[in-house]
Amino acid sequence: MNPAYKMSINRKELEEIASLAQLNIPDSQVREITDSLNQVMGMIDHINEADTEAVEPMSHPNDAEQMIRQDEVVDGSHKLELLKLAAQADEDHYLVPKVID
């Protein structure tokens, strides 16, 4: 365990994690990856040191409110114009050839 960090990952733990994740880490990269992960663990240690005792839990960091508006029809229906474009139609429906007996 690296004395600079409260949490640390060693070579054995990295190999176990790699095995569980089905990753093949070359021996030449084990040290570099271990050091990188330990830096991340150090950042987590640093974040965990923050005093959050007076911080209220929140669902979102912004105090935004959902603006709710009334549903209003603004464009209307184009049903009649679209039915006129159909090859065959009656007053309310498109007419198509029967494909299932």
Burial of 9 (0-12, 13-18, 19+ CB in 10 A): buried
Between 27 and 74, the higher pLDDT residue? 27
**What is the distance of C-alpha 43 from the center of its chain?**
23
Could you give the 3-state DSSP secondary structure of residue 89? strand
In the numeric block, the tokens 């159909």 are attached to 86
**pTM summary value:** 0.50
Q: Dump pLDDT digits (tens) for 51-79.
A: 999 988 887 777 777 788 888 888 878 88
Report which residue type is found at 4: A
